[in-house]
Structure 1
Amino acid sequence: VRVLQMYTIGRDKYMKYEHPISCRTFTINEDLGQIGYVFSDKTGTLTQNKLVFKAMSIGGVRYSQRSELPSENCELIQRFLTVLAICNTSFIVHEHQELMHRIDYQPKYEGDNADDLVLCQTASNFGVRMISRSAQNIIVRYINSTNTEKQDIDYEILCLLPFDSTRKRMSIIVRLNDQIFLFIKGAETSIWPHLSSFNETDMKTIIEQHSLNFAEQGYRSLLVAYKQLTLREYEDWFERYQHAANSLENRDEAISDVATEIEVDLMLAGLTAVEDKLQDGVPRAIATLRCAGIKIWLLTGDKQATALSTAQAASLVNIPQTLSSENTSMTNSNAPATITWDFSASAQAQLNQYTHMIYYSSQLIEMNQQLHTRDEAIPDEIRTSETITRMSEVIAAQKLPVSLVVTGDDLNTILRYKPKEFMQAASQCQSVIFCRVSATQKRELVSAAKSVFKHRILAIGDGANDVGMIRESHCGVAVYGREGSQAVAAGDFAVDRFECLRRLLLVHGAWCFTRTSELILYTFMHNCAYVFVIFYHQLYNGFSGAVTLHSLYLTLYSSLFTVLPQCAAALFDQHVPAERALYEPQLYEYTLHARCYRMWSYWINIFDAVWQSTVIFFMGYFSYRHESYMDVSSFGFAMAFCMIVTSLIHVLLQTSRIDWSVIASIAFSLLVFLGFTLIFDATCIQCIPGESPYKVSYETFRQGRFWFTSILTIITAMIPRYIVKSIYNTIKNPLM
């Protein structure tokens, strides 16, 4: 059944865009109906990962994609563009290599890293064009502003230090004639601490302001820097690098440590800003999932301002129109709050800040006063515990939804000291955003959430840095992306867009959970009924072990005569139509909280099985006990007939809607039973030693009492089930 359920999910045309949805496992179908938390990557998952260059800041001057570069500061601009052209892992595809000598020749760049591609193309558009690349060298073509002259310069590659999610930067060391340069680009938090003190303070301040402006517009920004090395400096470092690269233990950590040694005293070249638009349907999908009771946590490597801007556009957070940094409360005290906590600061400092960001209530005033005398110079463990406690109190004091933003390196402190307490506090928020997190932190977050939350955890991402959290989660979903197929290979499901999550969970997840639940309950019920019929017969034969039912009917009862309707219901029954599930997402809570599979559901089905078996056996016994034509074989056949027909009708009553496939399967199963019975009874005289069913069904079918008793028995057996379901649907069923 699970395999066929996966097949129907994969065939859903409403989740097919460039690729159909890929289902790589059939063991977690019903888990899709109990997802309480979604841990989502941002780039390539919520966004299109189709980067568009928007602006750059060089020497404190901002240039847009349509700007004409000035003749002044020419050297600074050229150096900035050179870093963009060289510091990447893109490769070149020459579609018309015979035109390579022409000044307007434009090669095609390809690669797995979208940032590298867009920045390399940007440098090319501004006249600094990488036209050839090998493992040993890079040829860069410099074109003047009038496109009349060109100069090709060959850079020898000495060492490439690729990007990783821990360092959050990449660098390359090249030689030009007798000069050696290190070119580097990366996240601002990974570059700023490594800048040389010789950088102009004013320019750094301007670039910081530009960075903030870019982030507020939702742009992703990277810092670009460089450094000139002496030959001795490079050779000494390269010897240590080779030793680290050849180490057998902790090789990656050793290389990272050695790379950090050379990536210091950097000169700032500038700042880039690229736009990565949201995928179509993301705001609607997130809003729908939140209405369904699913909490979405965003895990991104971007800085706080960029993450907040994207989260707001995606309907993940509702940022108030006015948040004052002065000693005033919010302009709109009824607006949802967004709280940013810095776990490296004291709890006192946190309250000083957030009494201005959220409604200034008496609880906050009291907490503020309690902390005035606290010493800020306390150990991280105590500080983290205190901060989480206060944060939880602040969140609990709010009457409106709260979104939480965790910034900086605080996550390491949280996961080290108080993961459980933090998770419990964060679970009170409508959404949580983690900024500047690494792949390892993503995996550790999911692991901590699994140990605390009772609901299933879903992780969704598109890149290699998401593989850890995808594998760690209960249900991993990969998005077909532009950064390789590692995530797709690791995921339980692979989709084209984040929007597919809406239908995957609210429709297929809920369907699979209710279908599987009903299948389990039905299996218990109809096998229990069959056992009790045999038990009642033992009361009348002195527990001799003799069975009134023919052994072949006992064997085929579950494996042939009743199995098809069960499977049809488990594949095609819909407790709610797909359209209603999407437009009334709150119905997802029916499966999220397992309201269709409680302990009382199990006992109701057991009692129903006892009732059905009691009615089938005793109505038959008291009806046939004085009939001369009714021997043990005939009585057993009458019991088998009533059991099978009752079981088939039970499936019809159990389904949420009348579906042609279920009706057809019931009719087919009944025909199979009758056809098998007539053929078997007509041909088998002594085919089974000790049991002769010859002509039993033929004689039984001729008796009017058999038909009257059977119809009355079946109706009586099904009456409680019909009454209970009617009352439940009328009074309590949340789906009606």
Structure 2
Amino acid sequence: MSLLLTLSRPISSRSAIYFIRFILLLTCIIPISLRVNLDTAKFVYKYYIENDHELYGAKVRNSDINEELGRVDILLTDKTGTLTQNDMSLAALFHMTLKYTINPKKEYCTTVNVLQTFQFSSTRKRMGVIVKDPVSQKIIYIVKGADTVISSFSNEPNYWLQESLETLSRQGLRNLVYAYKELSPYYYETMKQEFDDAIMQMSNRGTRIDEIVDKYLDCDLKLIGATAVDDKLQLEVPQTIECLIQAGIKVWMLTGDKLETALSIATSSSLKRRIDIFFEFTQATCQDLEFFVYRIYQLSRHRSKNCVICVDSFVIDLINRLYHLAKTQDYYRKILSNFIMVCYSKRAVIFTRCSPYQKKELVEIIKFLLPKMRICAIGDGGNDVPMLQAAHCGIGIEGKEGRQAALISDVSVHTFKQLKPLLLYHGRLAQFSLLSEDASAA
């Protein structure tokens, strides 16, 4: 453009000066016009996504993320409410060694007076309620939660419980363990007085409440039994996962469920095919760092990509400790880098018993060790928010756990199957179009 403007004037000794002058004038105008074109293109792609009939209900909250959708290398997905429908149906009850099947058409009810409720939290992994029987006048504390948590509060032998839970988990059912404790009126009033005083505190209120609950309630519990609930997959989840993997996107599942439940869902969702094998990194195989390193070596010797890696919470904690050491020491960074690279070379990875903090840490670890990889995370609940915020691109699903994940995400969708047109069509289209614009500008 500067050359054309210079040639439009009569050639003279000052032509070189005019040429430089036009360059200086146009350097402020051209980049601004290119930026306007770029923003306009992103707005158009946002419109295309929100008006695609296959992406009904989709909402783009960050238009700068359009081209990132086409550069995804690793997809980190939650399980409950993301791969599954989060529509729980009671399948069975276990008490001691007895199993009771449930008739979904029959209603089961009883009447009690609820005195106090202790809400569920991802940190405590349990919720409880204090009730009073209007007939016997007994005050009973009933708690439900993860088997590892509830079992630790009871001194009773629980071999029957562990055996029942393993059987249910292999069927892909989610489990909750129940326990109770009978409270005397004096014991309850003492606990309630301290609890009410803790609520009135202006600082460290949550910590003090947890201390009181642990002191008076979550101790010396008697096991009642366990429930098994069925949570079906969403529509077209296996087809979507297989399509994403064939497109070169690695799919890693992060769940708070037991290892056996996660393995069953991985099989039904097509993360694991018949030709694939499970390779476990668990407390049984990785008791310490030395065993962990040897396990990585064993996996690296397995040349086939037909392998699904399973990691439990014990190894996740070990990985997190290595991550903090790897920031300053190359030896630990090399170990962790070898693990992540071996995982990336296999078909899929499953992380079980993950807390919200651990999900976020795993995203940061991958970004730290694989800086050129683009990480996309998808989830539906408030416990997935840290993971979505840590990833390069966060996709929220508006599910039954509320809209927290959808509201903080870059893009929100209604179902998991909508990832296929979102990533493989709209993402790639935006990426290629913007690359073409950059090439033209250059």
- TM-score (norm. length: structure 2): 0.82
Identity %: 33
Q: Is the 8 A contact 1:318 1:338 kept in 2?
A: no
Q: How does 1:566-581 map to 2 (within 5 A)?
A: none
Match of 1:44, SS state, is coil
Residue number in structure 1 paired with 2:55: 15
Distance 2:308 2:194 in 1: 46
Distance 1:246 1:259 in 2: 16
Distance 1:53 1:318 in 2: 28
Residue number in structure 1 paired with 2:36: none
Q: Is the 8 A contact 1:391 1:425 kept in 2?
A: no
Following superposition, the deviation at residue 246 of structure 1 comes to: 4.0
Which has the larger displacement, 34-43 or 407-416? 407-416
String of CA shifts for 1:522-566, please: whole Å, max 9, x gaps: 122xxxxxxxxxxxxxxxxxxxxxxxxxxxxxxxxxxxxxxxxxx
Residue number in structure 2 paired with 1:72: none
Residue number in structure 2 paired with 1:435: 352
1:399 aligns with 2:298: no
Distance 1:183 1:283 in 2: 38
Following superposition, the deviation at residue 259 of structure 1 comes to: 2.6
Q: Structure 1 residue aligned with 2:153, among 194, 202, 208?
A: 194
Residue number in structure 2 paired with 1:303: 258
Residue number in structure 2 paired with 1:155: 113
Match of 1:477, SS state, is strand
Match of 2:83, SS state, is coil
Change (3 A) 1:225 1:316: same
Q: Is the 8 A contact 1:463 1:486 kept in 2?
A: yes
Q: How does 1:60-459 map to 2 (within 5 A)?
A: 60-66=97-103, 125-129=106-110, 140=111, 154-157=112-115, 159-176=116-133, 178-197=137-156, 201=157, 204-261=158-215, 262-318=217-273, 335-343=275-283, 349-350=285-286, 383-384=288-289, 386-401=290-305, 402-418=307-323, 421=336, 422-453=339-370, 454-459=372-377
Distance 1:208 1:392 in 2: 29
Distance 1:391 1:207 in 2: 30
Distance 1:252 1:472 in 2: 26
- TM-score (norm. length: structure 1): 0.50
Q: CA RMSD in A?
A: 2.1
String of CA shifts for 1:486-527, please: whole Å, max 9, x gaps: 111111111111111111111111111110111111122xxx
Distance 1:447 1:441 in 2: 10
Residue number in structure 2 paired with 1:53: 90
Residue number in structure 2 paired with 1:619: none
Aligned residue pairs, count: 385
Q: Which amino acid aligns with 1:258?
A: I
Match of 2:195, SS state, is helix
Change (3 A) 1:512 1:339: same
Q: Which amino acid aligns with 1:395?
A: L
1:506 aligns with 2:411: no
Higher strand share: 2
Q: Structure 2 residue aligned with 1:26, among 57, 63, 74?
A: 63
Distance 1:411 1:2 in 2: 38
Q: Which has the larger radius of gyration?
A: 1
Q: Is the 8 A contact 1:156 1:176 kept in 2?
A: no
Match of 1:482, SS state, is coil
String of CA shifts for 1:305-356, please: whole Å, max 9, x gaps: 011000111111246xxxxxxxxxxxxxxx432111124x5xxx55xxxxxx
Q: Is the 8 A contact 2:323 2:365 kept in 1?
A: no
Following superposition, the deviation at residue 470 of structure 1 comes to: 1.0
String of CA shifts for 1:163-210, please: whole Å, max 9, x gaps: 11121110012233542211111111111111233xxx4xx3333222
Q: Structure 1 residue aligned with 2:382, among 446, 464, 471?
A: 464
Q: Which amino acid aligns with 2:267?
A: Q
Distance 1:472 1:254 in 2: 30
Following superposition, the deviation at residue 391 of structure 1 comes to: 2.5
Residue number in structure 2 paired with 1:589: none
Distance 2:99 2:59 in 1: 44
Greater RCO (Cα-Cα under 8 Å, separation 6 or more): 2
Structure 1, unaligned stretches of length 5 or more?
67-121, 130-139, 141-153, 320-334, 351-375, 377-382, 525-736
